[in-house]
Structure 1
């Protein structure tokens, strides 16, 4: 015969249930204290996050915010091949220059090799992921040799940085050279 080990006492079940109830109560209490009041107001996130974002100071602007104060570049930029390039891509964040409609600092002017570095961010032939149809790709030393200029030339010695083809087209028109299709 098999001995019967059935306990007559259920205190172990009582203690397990008591611990489970205590854990649930503690979890509900901690959740109530930790979750912000606005949590779940507009979905599964903190509703006040919207107001935090609204109150965050603007760091980047649009080309329109730059062209308001720089009208002499407006037509040149908008009619040039760089009209889709953000002013901030080359010049830096508008927040470093203007706050509340007032100039707070001058943006550093790019010089020499800095200009070449900026241009080659997009136009460097080594970057294979660029769409060739929309961005003219060059290999810098080769490009300068083809144009018969010194290899230490900087892009803005031949190109206006805001409208890169403007000076080239004017120079070609002056000397009567047809525009090449490259």
Structure 2
């Protein structure tokens, strides 16, 4: 008789995040769950936004089981690098885990934000590195534990939606979009 061992599930809330100061310098670490308790501890994060050949951006609707901002629309993927881990490597791994996609990623900026999820009481307080990539013909294969849905959207249409219905979108998406879209156009789209 042969037994097949299932891969152990990772408790993402127990993984370490890198705490940073107001200038983005590493100052320590703590578990994800602790960093997101009110008032929130400033920590390193990343947000990926992929563009297709026509300039549309790939959004994901966060899965219902997410502990912060479930079922809202957000950038292609996001997460936290482990302390000392390359942001680009962590982002590429997360992109593959969440959407089954691989592409070259380029870091194009960083911004800081803080937002409370009124439903869970948890807080995002992040030093967010923004990365972009281009996707040709590959089709997302989302992990249903991470992603409820996905959609390709023109940036200008997304800006209008963010203004008209902000509660349907993550509080960091506007900042990610502005940095990513400017960088995309700077590199001749």
TM-score, structure 1 as length reference: 0.24
The structure in which a higher percent of residues are strand is 2
The higher relative CO (CA closer than 8 Å, separation ≥ 6) is in 2
The structure in which a higher percent of residues are helix is 1
TM-score, structure 2 as length reference: 0.23
